[in-house]
Homo-oligomer: A and B are copies of this chain.
Amino acid sequence: MRNVVHREGAGAAGVDPQQLWLGAARTGRGRKPAFSREAITAAAVALADAEGLDAVTMRRVAAEVGAGVMSLYSYAPDKETLLELMVDHVSGELPTDGPLTGDWRADLKAIGHLQRALMLRHPWLPTALTARRTLGPHALAFLERALAALRPTRLDGAAKLEVFSQLTGFVAGHVGYEIAQSAAAEAPGRAAAEARYLAAVAADGHHPELAAALAAPGRPLTPEATFTRFLDRLIDGLDTG
């Protein structure tokens, strides 16, 4: 047999998470691995941090690690799985052991800010999270912490899990938007073109509200402040069940 880690299931897409995360340890038999899942994942993360998710190709990662391309497949059954490994790898940067205040709303907000900071450090993360995702050990440790923060509420289990999932989704969405905005700001020609386009549309007479909105700009808000405001709204609005 060719790859202990991932004999596939009954035709379904994706990899059995149990095999992936709790896979059997080496038997000792056979050739020794020349690389490690850790090292490969770290290289892929470094690549994504430096050049974006599109730069993460099997060939690039292999070159970075000094392996042959196909050797990667001994450590991850396919590229999608490698992405999941990357996600869990950076999830390890999230602190899971500080004290909780006991004010679950405050704790949850802190958790949201931690997630945002992580995503800003790894801008490819919101995109990678969109894909199918099984929780790896680091993500599970962080989930454990979020559940602990939610302990004071009387939400049932399913509701707690859902709150965490929604929170993560919200943060990913917001940060993804933030990143797109700042990327646009760094390409001045592009941003100017977009502004010109909107101005042209507003001037056509069929979009009075847009024209009014563009005419009354207001002071520019920092993304941080906007994030905090929306996060607070979301969490303050949660029912305690």
Chain A interface residues toward B at CB < 8 A: 9-14, 16-18, 21-22, 126-127, 130, 132, 134-135, 140, 143-144, 147-148, 151, 156-162, 165-166, 169-170, 172-174, 176-177, 180, 187, 189-190, 193-194, 196-198, 200-201, 206-210, 212-218, 220-221, 226, 229-230, 232-234, 236-239
Contacts and interface: CB of A to CB of B under 8 A. Distances in A.
Among A140, A214, A232, chain B packs the most CB atoms within 10 A around the CB of A140
Contacts of A148: 209
A169 B173 contact: yes
Contacts of A226: 162, 166
Nearest to A17: B197
A236 B183 CA distance: 31
Contact of A189 (B10, B187, B201, B221): B10
Given A166-B230, A180-B132, A216 B157 contact: yes
A6 B19 CA distance: 49
A83 to B, nearest CB: 15
Given A22-B200, A156-B217, A157-B216, A193 B130 contact: no
A226 B174 CA distance: 20
A229 B238 CA distance: 9
Contacts of A209: 144, 147-148, 151
How many copies of this chain? 2
Contacts of A213: 147, 157-158, 160-161
- Please classify the interface of chain A as helix (H, G, I), strand (E, B), loop, or mixed, using the class held by over half of its residues: helix
A190 B13 contact: yes
A239 B228 CA distance: 13
Nearest to A196: B18
A18 B200 contact: yes
A157 B212 CA distance: 7
12 contacts: A12-B190, A22-B197, A132-B180, A140-B210, A144-B207, A148-B209, A157-B212, A157-B213, A157-B217, A166-B230, A169-B174, A173-B173
A187 B157 contact: no
B132 A130 contact: no
Nearest to A232: B237
